[in-house]
Structure 1
Amino acid sequence: MNKLPGRHLSTFQNCITYPVYYVVGEKEGLYRVSVNNNKVLMANLRKWNNLSSDAISAGQKLIVGYLVSTDPNLATVNRAAAPEVRETTTTTVVPEVKNEVVKREEEKPVQKQPVVEKKPDPKPTTVAVNDGNGGYFKSDYDAQMRGQSIKKDEMVTAGIFKTASGWQDAKYYALIDGVEPGTIIRIVNPNNSKAIYAKVLDKMTGIRQNQGYNVRISNAAATALEIADSEKFFVRVNY
């Protein structure tokens, strides 16, 4: 395990925040970092780490959450006596920890154990954006394929994974083996010829739930393709 290079603090409105770091492992994409850290929203990972894309590299240190003290008196104590934080690739990250002070009958303050609060994931709307062009990544796919011929064009077994992305911005995502994360692939529903363009987040190998599937697409992508909420179905993939 690598030791953090000092304690990183930022103060605002009488609060002190302690960023929690995670070291990216070999062949890990941003989606895998999210899964390994309580499924923290990928949008937050991009924001906290100033990422302009989903491309990350092994050994890169990412902020995956914050420890927050809302009591200024407790914050002063914690700053002087906070234990060393060590980072590993399997750290469970708590998005927010609040210290609370209660009063006994004699009005003497006592310190309680930190209370962990988990914010629920935002609920997506039930209808995915369909701009008629295949989604947000269509232009990226065109640029990617400019001057090149299609390398893969095959019918594969597909499943769905749930995410909050794509319902409002038409950004669709996929998990697939043998394709570099960040690559844009074209996915077609053979039953109605509807097509969308999805960015590859990570590989399928290593996740038990992916056995028996060649690709998983986001639930917003499946809705845009007018695929029924089926456990397993066929799509055509090319890139």
Structure 2
Amino acid sequence: MYLRKYLFLVFLLLTAFLNAQDKLIASGTTGDLYIVHQLKGKETLSVLSRIYGATPRQIAVYNNINISAVLSPGDKLKIPLSAENLVQEQEFATSEPVFHIAGNGENLFRLSQRYFKVPLAKLREWNDLKTDVLKKGQVIVIGFIGGSKLAAMKADAPAANAQVFVKPPVIGAPVEPQPLKDPNVMDAAIDGTREMKKGEMKPMTETDKFFAKAAADRAKKEAEAAASIVPPPVPVEQFKETNKVAPTEYKISEDELRYTAKPNDEGYFGLIYAMDESSKTKVNKAGDAGIFKSLSGFSDRKFYALMNDVLPGTIIRISTSDNKTVCARVLGPVPEIKGAPSLLIRLSNATAAALGKSDNYFPVTITYLQ
């Protein structure tokens, strides 16, 4: 039984490894990220620089080799990733997607912070995701690399098969060489129809499949937009009147918020939460909470928390299994602490005390409005 489970686990790891061979996988830690390139043919540091957008010296220093070192086919070099060469758009057809293999407890917010603030909307679009939660081992596109300098170099280079031809001579006129038309461009009315040369089709790589799907999705969206019916023009004043935008944020001063602290209420921010509770959509999450130290909240009952995937300033309601609730304001994301478990939220010690909790970790349910 144990041998069978072990063999099955080895099979899964081997399958994931083989599937990753054709992809550019981001490795390293936050602030020290890289991809691995295996040398093919007579590639040099200058060639890698033009492809990946890092200077030859940067690549040499990163791999602890001399900038004039002779490279051999099959050698593997690390290409450092930065905000300059890991871009957020496919700049050219030669650009390739860079992937991240999700670890335990990771989500799109953490990937956005790790990979140079790439917008969450782009991560969802590139990977066709409906949720920000990731499964362990899930392969995620986090940006694109290569193509800009390489494409520019190809565009500036003369065509290898450039040809010239001579017009039929006209009596008394000099003969002038003229360039042939592009042999890859054919006008059926002039050149006649041609059949495709029979040959062997190469299988599509993972990169080809990714860009083919992206192009198909883009064409579909453009077709749907073109087919939509354009409404008749509306007078300016009528447009202004019917398209007034309701305010989505209200600034409330402490003078306007009349609050008297009570031992068992939801705290200072409970009144703000109650104001929007009937007009906004509720979002619920559940997970483990930890505690951080703070001097605030014990007397004025102003409770604070750290939580990922919500905007700082959001008011949240925290509930425990014994039906105790308080409301707190989110100050920012949960910091990553080496060796600590992945937590949904961290509460100030005053917040935890109001919930009657003193343990390092305990389960909670979170509700916030959007």
TM-score by length of 1: 0.43
Higher-Rg structure is 2
Higher strand share: 1
Higher helix share: 2
